Amino acid sequence: MELRPAYPLRTARLLLRPLTVGDADALLSYRSLEEVCRFVPFEPMSRAMIMEKLEGRWAQTAFTAKNAGVILGVELADGARLVGDVTLFQRSELHRCAEIGWILDPAHSGHGYATEAAAELMRLGFQELSLHRIVARVDARNGPSLRLAERLGMRREAHLVENEWFKGGWSDEIDFAMLETEWRSDQMLRGAAVIGPPASPVLGVPSGSINSTSVSSVASGQCSTPRGTT
Ligand SMILES: CC(C)(COP(=O)(O)OP(=O)(O)OC[C@H]1O[C@@H](n2cnc3c(N)ncnc32)[C@H](O)[C@@H]1OP(=O)(O)O)[C@@H](O)C(=O)NCCC(=O)NCCS
């Protein structure tokens, strides 16, 4: 089964929409920075790398059997300015589990944009993809990202001590998660309208076409950025 979300996804201040080659300059302005890449599993990007991604994997915007993850640009609704990007990718079809990630242009940090975009992506995951569980994996030294996961209401589930050799040293990983039932309760508490019945599998694809092993194998590296998606 496929899900082709109706883009753009809209929030109070933002649009979430597919990236295009017209975003190359904006993407380069923050994805080329050392400070942005400190805790993500890729190095600062060149324009050529960004163009290759834009014309390749980042152009995939539907959840299908062959493409179980998307990356979306985060644009200011009133200014048509790209301020970051967010990603959601399947970790296990069987367990209806996906991982979420976020990157913001530091010029636009401190306004809650990343939180707002990630919250909308979680809505998509639980409400439209019928996910059971969404996780985030964060380097223990990445304070802004830890706070973001907490603002989203995700539960801090694990502290993995020196579990990865990461950019020249051992890193600790903090694992966060939220269940679909928890998300619905949270939405009720926040007074948001949650449309639709509790989940039934939508993200699922024909058995054998994608499995947890194959997805996990491309999704190693913490900070919610699968190597194939970054
Ligand atoms: C992680 C990252 C996206 C967080 O960016 P951010 O600007 O702190 O996050 P938000 O846009 O949600 O803004 C939240 C901040 O703005 C403040 N804020 C101001 N107005 C706000 C609002 N309306 N709503 C929510 N927060 C608001 C919050 O208090 C918070 O600041 P604090 O953490 O100092 O308390 C950013 O640091 C980043 O891109 N890092 C590099 C990439 C990376 O490491 N990604 C994560 C890999 S796991």
Measured distance CA(210)–CA(204) in Å, rounded: 9
Measured distance CA(210)–CA(164) in Å, rounded: 25
Query: Is residue 2, in this structure, part of any structural domain at all?
Result: no
Query: Is residue 1, in this structure, part of any structural domain at all?
Result: no
Residue 25 has pLDDT above 90, yes or no: yes
> Ligand 1 atom closest to Cα of 136?
48
Mean pLDDT score, 39-61: 97
User: How far is residue 58 from each of residues 52, 53, 197, measured CA to CA in Å?
Assistant: 9, 5, 31
> The domain containing residue 137 runs over which residues?
9-218
Q: Cβ atoms within 10 A of the Cβ of 75, count? A: 24
Domain count for the chain, please give it: 1
Query: Is residue 227, in this structure, part of any structural domain at all?
Result: no
Q: Supply 151's token pair.
A: 């603002």
Q: What is the reported pLDDT for 193? A: 67
Query: Is residue 226, in this structure, part of any structural domain at all?
Result: no
Residues with CB under 6 A from ligand 1: 36, 39-40, 101-104, 109-115, 138, 142, 144-145, 147-148, 223-224
Nearest Cα residue to atom 19 of ligand 1:
111
Q: What is the reported pLDDT for 196? A: 58
Nearest Cα residue to atom 14 of ligand 1:
112
Angle between the N-to-C axes of helices 143-151 and 113-123, in degrees from 0 to 180, rounded to the nearest 10:
50
- Residue-level length of the chain: 230
Query: Is residue 223, in this structure, part of any structural domain at all?
Result: no
Angle between the N-to-C axes of helices 47-55 and 24-31, in degrees from 0 to 180, rounded to the nearest 10:
130
**Distance between Cα 105 and ligand 1 center (Å):** 10
Q: What is the reported pLDDT for 147? A: 98
- In a mutational test of the pocket of ligand 1, which residue from 86, 109, 160 has the highest number of ligand atoms less than 8 Å from its CB? 109
Query: Is residue 228, in this structure, part of any structural domain at all?
Result: no
191 pLDDT band, cuts 50/70/90, is: confident
Residue 207 has pLDDT above 50, yes or no: no
92 pLDDT band, cuts 50/70/90, is: very high
The larger pLDDT score, comparing residue 58 to residue 205, is at 58
Nearest Cα residue to atom 44 of ligand 1:
39
Query: Is residue 54, in this structure, part of any structural domain at all?
Result: yes
Nearest Cα residue to atom 10 of ligand 1:
112
Q: What is the reported pLDDT for 201? A: 47
Q: What is the reported pLDDT for 68? A: 82
Mean pLDDT score, 158-187: 97
- In a mutational test of the pocket of ligand 1, which residue from 115, 175, 229 has the highest number of ligand atoms less than 8 Å from its CB? 115
CATH number of the domain bearing residue 73: 3.40.630.30
> Ligand 1 atom closest to Cα of 137?
48
**Distance between Cα 189 and ligand 1 center (Å):** 23
Query: Is residue 4, in this structure, part of any structural domain at all?
Result: no
For 107-156, write each residue's pLDDT tens digit: 999 999 999 999 999 999 999 999 999 999 999 999 999 999 999 999 99
Residue 227 has pLDDT above 60, yes or no: no
Q: What is the reported pLDDT for 174? A: 98
Instruction: Report the percentage of the chain scoring pLDDT > 70.
Output: 83
Average pLDDT, rounded, for the chain: 87
**Distance between Cα 110 and ligand 1 center (Å):** 5
Mean pLDDT score, 13-40: 98
The larger pLDDT score, comparing residue 55 to residue 65, is at 55
Residue 216 has pLDDT above 50, yes or no: no
**Distance between Cα 113 and ligand 1 center (Å):** 7
Question: Which of 217, 221, 223 lies closest to 165 in space, CA to CA?
Answer: 221
Nearest Cα residue to atom 6 of ligand 1:
109
